Structure 1
Amino acid sequence: MTVTKTTTPTEAPVEPAPTPKGRRRKRRKIVVPLVLTAAITGVAVLGVTRPWERPASVTGKPPVEHGTVAVQRGSLSSGIQIAGTLGYDEPMSVVAAGRGTVTALPAVGTVIKPGGKLYEADGSAVILMRGGRPLWRDLGPGAGNGPDVEQLKRNLVDLGHADGLGLAVDERFTKGTETAVKRWQKSLGVKQTGTVALGSVVMLPQASVRVQQLGVQLGAPLGTGSVMTVSGTGLVALVRPADNQLSRFKPDGKVEVRLSDGSMVTGRVRSLIRGGSGGQGEGDGGGGAGGDQQKTTVTITLDSQQQARRTGPSSVTITVVGDSVSGALIVPVTALLALDGGGYGVKIVDGRGTRLVKVRLGLIADAQAEISGGVEPGTQVVVPK
């Protein structure tokens, strides 16, 4: 038997096709200038990197086109304007503490002062008094001490029914308190019992109230809900800014309110209440549904009620006064380039070509920026189209 031995030869490397000398020299002439150009470009941009300046082969997208705008001289202000409403202050519901039938109601818009009749139940007047604590029991001889007694005594003194009695405004129902109550009852033309019956008085915190809306009709039984909604007599401006605008509203911060007749009145920020009505008064249309309920309501007191009363509840425009500059050099914020090591620059286009100039940044407002250093009015700067 004949054995044939086969040997596999080692593969020799394939030599590249020879390149003509002239072609090699030409390639070197191309490559070297490109490397130099890249190095020069790297120095010229001072480390500035913009996605739109990358080649299409790197980003996979065509580069962003650019244009130029002229540096302008003008004014900038960081103030903002927001639509709001004008309404009566601190609306609240009046809930009857007693029982009976409604026999008289005031007209909407009626202003009632402490000591005046708020409404009528079973033919008897229900009187308004000032206080933040609702009455919850009869107050008369033998009533235990408490802040509700003190609240009643303060009203009796303020209404003049304790004159000459030397009545101390404290939490004790004394003989002098009983006498003052009888004087008050005599002024109303009712039986002088010396006891304030539950339901005969409504305590509200405002000095005077304005009837904003009625909650019942004549003949309705008490105890079924709100008798009426009342508010303060003063007008306030209300606005619901977006979350990113809230920082502009400082406590006691100054604002300007343009009324519906075009006149302007100044005001101050009184309160910011998250997710509530914020004391929305009549004429406020900001009580939307859903997420709008979670917005912060800003209440603004006005420096002139006389001006506000000429228009009444209506739409207004709130201007938050901010920083301002005049005679400034202004460019769009899109012209600014962040530099390595901090700071900003702009690309200038002039007879010498395009060059980067470092600038100092000032006020920014409404997508415009104040700059200074190395630029003049009319200078053309590069911006993305």
Structure 2
Amino acid sequence: MVRRVSALPALAALLMLAAVSVSGQTSDAPATTDIEARAEQGQAEAQFALGQRHHTGDGVMQDYAEAAHWFELAAAQGHPDAANLLARYRFEGLGVEQDRAEALRLFEAAAETGDPDHVFDLARALEASGADMERVATLYQQAADAGNADAAVSLGVLYQEGIGVEQNFARARELYEQPADQGNARALNNLGLLYVRGDGVPQDYARAAEYFSAAVDLGLSTAMTNLGVLYENGFGVELDEERARALYRAGGRKEDVGSGDNAGLIYDSRLKPLDSTDEALQALKQSAEAGDPVALFQLGWVLLQQPDAPFQAQFQAAALFRVSAEAGYGPAMANLGSLYFQGRGVPQDFVLGHMWILRAGHAGTPDTPALAEGYLDKMTPGQITEAQSLAKSGP
């Protein structure tokens, strides 16, 4: 693997700073733990639990390759949950070589337990593979009947489009309504589409806008684009081209609506709001020059608060975040990662972006799982694996 070299300059060119350590950050779990010992002894449940820790990054750096190793061992002993997660990895090529035939075998084995989540995952994989859509619909129905809301929504899509089942808009709406009431973003968005098109219901743009807005509040990028179309044309809402553009940007970048140039950036909620007086800013600069990682982070944040922050400000902010991040300050890691994803102040690099966000999460920074999730659809499985490897290897 070629080691990436950061394009950020030595910060001495900007400020005379000394990196310092930050106390209170989480560290790797001890090399030997009870769960690891039991997993090494061959206990399937412990192997699955250890795989889950690496899958989610719970107390360890997230690492799909390591998770796959433990899931494979547990799956070989007949552990259905491990088989199902290993199947997801095999299907997408996350942490392991992509092998969809083997993935489908594992999905089938897990689904034999009747677990509705496993049945749903099997149906999704079969649908993505272009399998018999009648069987896919049957599996979605089985999972939905057992309480899986996502399966109900997916079955509704088949009825809406007439795939694997006879087209039936009323049935599609019925399948969407309960998950929508429970806050399922896809169900809300799809109900909006029915009202936009007048499929099985009277055409009603205002009602569609309500459904799209609810899905937008839940972060669904497709709904952001759909709502943007309504605002751009004044359908069901007042015509607002600026709002439409903001929604289109948010939908394309999976970022918070209305956050403008600072989309994807976070401020440390543990800190007091910044005082913007000249005296306070001068004190902040002095603390940054003394190497305080929190002050470095805050000074970078201030630079990015300028409307349409110029490149030089973005460049300096990235450099400040970098020094703070290397000192172990999680929020700076998260923001540096976002800047790499966005190509602001640094060359765009999804691998380095995800690496820094993973490190931020491992340092205990709030909101980083959601931040990482928002960028993952931009990345290939290979990029994700490389970022995880870099995140574990240290600066």
Superposition TM-score, scaled by structure 1 size: 0.21
Larger Rg: 1
Considering Cα pairs closer than 8 Å and 6+ residues apart, tell me whether 1 or 2 has the greater RCO.
1
Higher share of residues assigned strand: 1
Decide which structure has greater helix share. 2
